[in-house]
A and B are shown apart, each in its own frame.
Chain A
Amino acid sequence: DVKVTQSSRYLVKRTGEKVFLECVQDMDHENMFWYRQDPGLGLRLIYFSYDVKMKEKGDIPEGYSVSREKKERFSLILESASTNQTSMYLCASSFGGRALDTQYFGPGTRLTVL
């Protein structure tokens, strides 16, 4: 079974803090993704990566950065957290090739910024 893990299930941070969200997958997937999920807005893509050290902006990259130094790990960084970044953050990964589009999700990190 594909396993995608996220470093924290719940996180509380203060405005202005630097926040790191970690995601690890154990299936040698090429692609990794970070989404945020808010009520009424669905899933919105923040950043994705299709290879080590490669990254692409998604639909809402502002206020975020990412790092992919190893194939299995994809980190989302909030340089200076703000209250409007309070949200559920979901990491996903997928193979390349024919099954490219089938993404497998982690359990999510619920971040609260005070």
Chain B
Amino acid sequence: GQQLNQSPQSMFIQEGEDVSMNCTSSSIFNTWLWYKQDPGEGPVLLIALYKAGELTSNGRLTAQFGITRKDSFLNISASIPSDVGIYFCAGGNTGANSKLTFGKGITLSVRP
């Protein structure tokens, strides 16, 4: 099945730094989601985006739904050690029995 493009596979940053991640697709989506997965746990929804151009914040996290509807961006500001984890993007299209398409995830490490 199709997967979204997330790269690089891993990112290493210093505590306090900002970090940006993006997610791209060859297909259009009308929903973009960002999840975070802590080690040994299931993914937890961070931000949901439903409209092209939409910019939504959740604390230190900000995500944007690209205007082409083929990409999305997640920014984390002033990183802290508990930001460590895997960040997944997912795209979907509203409709009967629709599924999500996931990226492979970016593993974020934060150095104290």
Q: Does A110 contact B (CB under 8 A)?
A: yes
In the complex, per-residue mask of A80-114: 1 if CB is within 8 Å of any chain B CB, else 0: 00000000001010000011111111111010000
With a cutoff of 8 Å between Cβ atoms, the chain A residues found around residue B100 in the complex are 101, 103
Q: Are A45 and B40 in contact (CB under 8 A)?
A: no
- The bracket for how many chain B residues form the interface is 20 to 34
Known: A102-B45, A102-B48. A59 touches B104 (CB 8 A): no
20 examples of A-B residue contacts, CB within 8 angstroms: A33-B99, A42-B103, A44-B1, A45-B1, A50-B96, A58-B1, A90-B43, A98-B50, A100-B31, A100-B92, A100-B94, A101-B100, A102-B48, A103-B33, A103-B90, A105-B35, A105-B42, A106-B42, A107-B41, A108-B41
Q: For the complex, what is the distance from the CA of A95 to the CA of B68, rounded to whole Å? A: 26
Q: Are B97 and A50 in contact (CB under 8 A)?
A: yes
With a cutoff of 8 Å between Cβ atoms, the chain A residues found around residue B82 in the complex are none
Q: For the complex, what is the distance from the CA of A45 to the CA of B31, rounded to whole Å? A: 18
Q: Does A43 contact B (CB under 8 A)?
A: yes
In the complex, per-residue mask of B25-54: 1 if CB is within 8 Å of any chain A CB, else 0: 000000101010000111111001010000
Q: Are B88 and A101 in contact (CB under 8 A)?
A: no
Q: For the complex, what is the distance from the CA of A41 to the CA of B99, rounded to whole Å? A: 18
With a cutoff of 8 Å between Cβ atoms, the chain B residues found around residue A56 in the complex are 97
With a cutoff of 8 Å between Cβ atoms, the chain A residues found around residue B65 in the complex are none
Instruction: Please name the residue on chain B nearest to A30 by beta carbon.
Output: B97
Q: Does A48 contact B (CB under 8 A)?
A: yes
Q: For the complex, what is the distance from the CA of A99 to the CA of B49, rounded to whole Å? A: 10
Q: For the complex, what is the distance from the CA of A31 to the CA of B35, rounded to whole Å? A: 18
Chain B stretch 76-107: residues in CB contact (< 8 A) with chain A: 88, 90, 92-100, 102-105
Q: Which 3 A-B pairs have the closest CB atoms?
A: A101-B92, A105-B42, A42-B104
Known: A42-B88, A44-B1, A101-B33. A31 touches B45 (CB 8 A): no
Instruction: Please name the residue on chain A nearest to B50 by beta carbon.
Output: A98
Q: For the complex, what is the distance from the CA of A98 to the CA of B92, rounded to whole Å? A: 11
